[in-house]
Structure 1
Amino acid sequence: MKGGASPTAKEVSRRSWSAVSRLSDTLQRDTVGGCLLLGAAVFALLWANSPWGDAYAALGEVEVGADIFGLHLDLSLSAWAADGLLAIFFFVVGLELKQKFVAGDLRDPSRAALPIAGAVGGMIVPAAIFVAVTLPAGDGAVEGWAIPAATDIAFALAVLAVVATHLPVALRTFLLTLAVVDDLLAITVIAVFYSESIDFTFLALALVPLALFAICVQRRVSQWWVLVPLATLTWIFMHESGVHATVAGVLLGFAVPVLARDGADDNEHGGLAHHFERRVRPISAGVAVPVFAFFAAGVTVGGVGALGDTVTDPVALGVIAGLVVGKVVGILGTTRIVSEVTRASLDSSVKWIDIFGVALLAGIGFTVSLLIGELAYADDGDRAEVVKVGVLIGSLISASLAAIVLRVRNRHYRDLRRAAGDDDAHRTSSAEGRNNAPSPSAATST
């Protein structure tokens, strides 16, 4: 711009696009998504327990939408957050899963065996602990058995990103693989055990736009005005079918091709899965997951005495024990057994104490655990509030313990590399690995 002349329309457009691009790149980082998720949850807790708590509760009940052509789209804001916005999060999860299975760590059975085993054990043991704690209580308390089985990828990776300045890159890969498989199992659990009575007519209708979406992306059609309406119709029909609508997000993500036409990895040649992930992840991390957390985490504590009563409730105890104890026992125990009876082994740069830290980290069950809690106790508002307290406390304990263990291990690896004289090189490679490797936001989860 010369002589004080006003910027041209092209210059303004270029600056605006540059700002959007910088914001998008920022939202790709694990730490940023985790901080937004945590901030939304804390804000909801403070508001719900303030003198204006009634306004918070009323906001979640505000209905938006309409009953059009017999489609029940007149949902509350909290329902839109859980059913609608989380579908965006699970779409990113679906893309991540597809890339992992086709061109990532899950393609190699020898590398994937231990984290997959850990994910399975990390779901079975917490669920078993929850059942053991809640079964004597009766009155349907056991219905939330899957609540402590889920790991929140966004939170877990955010904590790891903060402390992992010198931890082996293979440890992040282990956690990411474990969390991705955990999400796949959680999605299956939601679809099978926490969906309402299924309307097969709407389920069949959902397959039509889903198939058209798949045909379009397989032909490398990427125009939003073609794909977004098809994805929206898939979501609507899935929602009406009784299957939880977030499943539509995963199926749409699975439909996107990972490899370019010449068979090369999309990360090298810009295939659609990588392209969509880069475009949609900022929306998931910056909007979808924080808004869901805002509406899901605002539990009213009601003072120290009321909090004590809530924490001692069997459901809360089951959730806390499942997240803090069950995840560690399930992940560490299963991976150790599999490594002893098969040829699968840890990466040479990773030790078992590191896996212990990751197992603690997997006890952060925020997004998907809260979602399952809402589904499990949809008709019992008091118990749903108890679940929120249990999830928040269990996740906080797990995150704190994991941070302590991984900080100690991080110091150990830092000292080793300083002694070897390659500290700066490792710091650079670790930072590049964290910033470049794709990672779900989440949520979730969920």
Structure 2
Amino acid sequence: MAAPQKNRSVLLGRLPLPERNHLADALRTETVGGVLLLAAAVAALIWANTPLKDGYESISAFHLGPGALGLNLSVQHWAADGLLAVFFFVAGIELKRELVAGELRDPKAAILPVVAALCGMAIPAVVYTAVASSGGGSLQGWAVPTATDIAFALAVLAVIGTALPSALRAFLLTLAVVDDLFAILIIAVFFTSQLNFVALGFAVLGLAVFRLLLWKGVRGWYVYVPLAVVNWALMYNSGVHATIAGVAMGLMLRCHRHDDERVSPGEHIEHLVRPLSAGLAVPLFALFSAGVSLSGGALSDIFRRPETLGVVLGLVLGKAIGVFGGTWLAARFTRAELNPDLKWPDVLAVASLAGIGFTVSLLIGELAFGGDPVLGGEIKAAVLVGSLIAAVLASILLKLRDNKYKKLCAEEDRDEDQDGIPDIYEQDDPAYHLRMAAILEAKAAEHRRRAEVASGRTTGDDGPA
């Protein structure tokens, strides 16, 4: 009697069609946002390294807002604490959706991105700590190289034109969502200043009201937007980073569909807010955070100072090793096995993209070294350089796999019966096989007719020659 075989799940296997369609919509917005993010970062660097740099510094430091409410902030702080709350609100919705309808809803499937994200954050932190401590540098920046910027990573894919299979794209997107979750926890736990318990209590109360209104089915942006702004302001004044309010409200939205719904409320709001996040909030944050001096001396100092070298090595090496190693561990010690259509170099190429840490890394750098403007500027430059090196290496690896990707994507998108559903999703449908048999018979008949025309036995529809 043959021994029973273990049931193994496919690692990075084909996505269900609804999930694949949602992924395609999300990637289109994130890719456009990533291109805008890249443009904003380049604009900031040019602005800060030309004779117009005084104007850049003046605008970044310009204060506005009601001081009586503790909100008289600089433009740079409004971008980091205010606009990024929108970004984290979308991240909260995406995380909620992944938990109830995406890759994270099944604990067995969730093991892969969770392990990969944890390893992809732990190894860069270890690399930074080892480099900084060996050189006598500050350990405050250990969390800077732990984050992944999904918009920038997808922009790299768009620019180099790689036809990445949907399973790997979904892995990168889910990995970044889990990465954002742990980055939020890091910010909340390690970068919270002295707490104002009164403001924090009112912030919790405001979030409870937000949740109650959602539970009661109250509709209208004019109710939720003012309440969201109040919750954000209270969270800011509490000492907890204000972006936590955005995440909390995003997680409260319902992301599962009822029978009479085409999309859930969370998906609908995400569809409305994601362009605002990717097209405005994040690029403006980059514009007022990426403007650092990149003179020849400053660039060389990045590779000599232990803190900045730790950030670069953490992003370039730590992220790739951590994500790839975490994925390998999941395949080695769980029931998951790699999709036979993919190879480990494919996973390494995507893992190297995780080293693009731009947005959240800049934010954590500001929080970690806000009291030291000189070192804070050098850390920003290190984030930019490390992300650039990671992007270049990832582009090279992806280009080497480009032809394989194109074949896989062509197979995924093939729709012989022209019904709008890729054939690969209909292989178990009897009606699909009947349609395909009819199509093949029609093609065979056309081929025979053309062969007869070529041999001179017929002239087509006019009868025998």
For residue 172 of structure 1, the aligned residue among 169, 182, 188 is 169
Deviation of 1:304 (Å): 1.4
For residue 147 of structure 2, the aligned residue among 150, 161, 169 is 150
Q: Distance in 1 between matches of 2:215 and 2:337?
A: 37
Q: Quick check: 1:46 aligned with 2:46? A: yes
1:17-416 alignment, distance < 5 Å:
29-68=29-68, 71-138=69-136, 141-163=138-160, 165-262=162-259, 269-301=262-294, 303-414=295-406
Q: Distance in 2 between matches of 1:144 and 1:199?
A: 25
What whole-Å deviation, never above 9, does each CA across 1:385-417 have from its counterpart, x for those lacking one? 111111111101111111111122121233577
CA separation of 1:111 and 1:175: change in aligned 2, threshold 3 A: same
Q: Which amino acid aligns with 2:321?
A: V
Q: Is the CA contact (8 Å cut-off) linking 2:164 and 2:409 kept in structure 1?
A: no
Q: Is the CA contact (8 Å cut-off) linking 2:231 and 2:245 kept in structure 1?
A: yes
Q: Is the CA contact (8 Å cut-off) linking 1:166 and 1:410 kept in structure 2?
A: yes
Normalised by the length of structure 2, the TM-score is 0.81
SS in 2 for 1:244: coil
Structure having the higher Rg? 2
Deviation of 1:344 (Å): 2.2
Q: When the two structures are aligned, how many residues end up with a matched partner?
A: 395
Identity percentage over the alignment? 51
Q: Which amino acid aligns with 1:171?
A: L
Deviation of 1:212 (Å): 1.1
CA separation of 1:165 and 1:394: change in aligned 2, threshold 3 A: closer
Deviation of 1:261 (Å): 4.2
What whole-Å deviation, never above 9, does each CA across 1:329-382 have from its counterpart, x for those lacking one? 111112212211111233343321111011100000000000000000010001
List runs of 5+ in structure 1 lacking aligned partners. 1-24, 431-446
Aligned-pair RMSD on alpha carbons?
A: 2.2
Deviation of 1:162 (Å): 4.4
Q: Distance in 2 between matches of 1:155 and 1:425?
A: 31
What whole-Å deviation, never above 9, does each CA across 1:246-277 have from its counterpart, x for those lacking one? 01100010011112344x8xxx6221100110
Q: Is the CA contact (8 Å cut-off) linking 1:27 and 1:282 kept in structure 2?
A: no
List runs of 5+ in structure 2 lacking aligned partners. 1-24, 423-465
Q: Is the CA contact (8 Å cut-off) linking 2:124 and 2:317 kept in structure 1?
A: yes
Q: Distance in 1 between matches of 2:271 and 2:358?
A: 24
Q: Distance in 1 between matches of 2:258 and 2:348?
A: 41
Q: Residue 427 of structure 2 corresponds to which residue in structure 1? A: none
CA separation of 1:183 and 1:417: change in aligned 2, threshold 3 A: closer
Deviation of 1:161 (Å): 4.0
What whole-Å deviation, never above 9, does each CA across 1:7-43 have from its counterpart, x for those lacking one? xxxxxxxxxxxxxxxxxx9995232111110000100
Normalised by the length of structure 1, the TM-score is 0.84
